[in-house]
Chains A and B, each alone.
Chain A
Amino acid sequence: MMRTSIIRDLVILLVIFGFIWGIISLFPVFPEKVELVSIEREQELGETYLEAILKNSDFEEVTSEEMTNAVEAIGLRLENALEGSEYDYRYLVVDDKMINAFTLPGGNIIVTTGLIEFCGSPEELAGVMAHEMGHVEMRHVVSRLVKELGIAILTSGDQFVMGEVTRIITSTGFDRKQEQSADLFACELLEDAGIEPRTLATFFRKLRDDQDNELLEKFEIVSTHPNFTHRIREVLEYVPDENFEEIPMEIEWEEVKGQLPEGRVSK
């Protein structure tokens, strides 16, 4: 009969499409969605976002050569210890009294003058930067963006997306697991670079003791879960190789700090 035949066809259609929907929902075809964004593409995006952020936000690039050189030197030291990285790292110091460091796609690491002020030594800053590099190498930055925006929108490079990207990058944190793995990555990297990994614990301790500081509000390392005691313990548990030898940073940290823009030497 015609009617039964029509209903049967309808059922076939519903089953086929329901199956497609269900199968993709239950067994995601893109579990590693971030893999769909190539590193080259990520670097291109990073370039675009960097420009957009510098143009549209209040951040102003610091021109003091002493300061940028210091950050660059720390970065290079870490990069040299980093084997087989596909990223071209770029470091930028922006003038902002908030204590903050964040990473744009493609290995663009941005630190604020507030953070430099907060760090007691170049090694502490190296710890933060190594932690950020961990997020880069493990592709946390791009996967967070993919998760929040979706691949199509993210890779469109559309300028209207920029605002959202800026918000995500500068305000929201990574998840607990990602932070943990970035901490571990930082420890290993610091060790390879001849920097005492447990400096990171010192830095975390400072953060813990200063948790109510409103300048810390946006700091990614702090924002996710201020359970520092646990993280400090984990970093302290990281024991460097017995042949480990610390190579001091040849940076006059106080002089670098002296380059902080007027009125920004916070207390």
Chain B
Amino acid sequence: MEYHPLPQPDEIPVREREDAMGAYFMMFATAALGLPLPIINMIAAIIYYFVNKSKGRFVQFHTLQSLYSQIPVTLLNIGLVVWVITNLVKEYDFTEVFWGYLVMTAVANLIYLIFSVVGAVKARKGLFYYFLFFGKLSYAQVYRVRVGDGEQQRENKPPKM
């Protein structure tokens, strides 16, 4: 499998670096809303991805990595909200399994937060930063040479008569 060459930091314009950084910081903006409704973070991240994906592979890589890494964290958070509400409504006990889940979710959020900040800082410097799993996944998706890449000819043609 072939991959497109990676751009070096000095080849990446500031504009693109900032958009890439924005992908990670976006979640801070939606964090307040995302606390009771984690899905909102997710929707915002998806929108950000589609708005920015055409801004070059560097931006696309970072936004996709931010989006991908957010999916499991969001799922965990939704699970937690649902679990707590169910327990309260149905008067179930908060079991050890629940506490385990709570701690795991907290750890996931913390790690996600730390990695996002590092990712944002690196992106601003025009560097790549690969999260475990999500980094490779995003790299593979964004930089893999697909059939048809590079063959797109941009050519203006007169209207068909």
Q: Chain A residues in contact with chain B, CB under 8 A? A: 2, 5-6, 9-10, 12-13, 17, 20-26, 28-30, 147-150, 153, 164
Contact = CB atoms under 8 A, between A and B. Distances in A.
B101 A6 contact: no
B71 interface: no
Contacts of B95: 25
Contact of B104 (A2, A9, A21, A28): A21
A13 B133 contact: yes
Nearest to A6: B136
Contacts of B132: 9, 12-13
B128 to A, nearest CB: 15
A17 B111 CA distance: 11
A29 B107 CA distance: 15
A264 to B, nearest CB: 33
A150 B94 contact: yes
Contacts of B99: 24-25, 28-30
Main secondary structure of the interface of A (DSSP, over half): helix
A119 B61 CA distance: 76
A233 to B, nearest CB: 31
B103 interface: yes
B104 A20 contact: yes
Q: How large is the interface on B (under 10, 10 to 19, 20 to 34, 35 or more residues)?
A: 20 to 34
B26 interface: no
Contact of B103 (A13, A20, A26): A20
Contact of A6 (B88, B93, B140): B140
Given A2-B1, A2-B140, A6-B140, A28 B96 contact: yes
A28 B108 CA distance: 19
A20 B132 CA distance: 17
A3 to B, nearest CB: 8
B104 A5 contact: no
Contacts of A164: 88
A25 B100 contact: yes
B136 to A, nearest CB: 5
A17 B100 CA distance: 10
Interface in B60-111: 84, 87-88, 91, 93-97, 99-101, 103-104, 107-108
Interface string B99-133: 11101100110000000000000000000000011
Contacts of A2: 1, 136, 140
